[in-house]
Structure formats: structure tokens, C-alpha cells
Amino acid sequence: MAAIRSGSAGAAIETRNIRIGLDDKVVAEVLDGLSEGDQVVTGEASGAMAAALGGGRRPREPFGF
């Protein structure tokens, strides 16, 4: 068993237990615990990092392009 964090748009992020099959440390087979279309959280930005990155807005291009 492994634990992952998942959520969907507008829903709270939750921790789920999943069962892993084949795993070559690059790609892993999920046997149970996720459904087609479920979103998995792979990282989270702190509030300071999100603000530094423009709060989710597209970063400005150099020289205004």
C-alpha cells in the first residue's frame, strides 16, 4: 500500500491509500484506489512561493513579449 494526496477542482485535497503493482521507479501501475480522471497532487507551493510565482498567473515574458 502507498498513500497519495488527491483532489478535484473545488474540492479539498485528501489522502488516499492506493495499491501499487509494477513499479520501475519511473512509472508505477496503480491497481486500486484511483479511478479514471482522478487528479493526484505531485507537489504543493507554499503561500510565499505562490505569491512569488504570481499567484497562479502566467509569468511575464522578458521585454514585454
pLDDT at 13: 85
pLDDT at 36: 86
pLDDT at 18: 94
pLDDT at 31: 95
pTM more than 0.85: no
Model confidence over 7-65: pLDDT tens digits? Answer: 777 778 899 999 999 999 999 999 999 988 888 888 876 666 666 656 555 556 677 65
Smallest CA-to-CA distance from 46 within 37, 55, 38 is with 55
Phi-psi sector, 54: left (phi>0), alpha (psi -120 to 50), beta = left
pLDDT at 20: 95
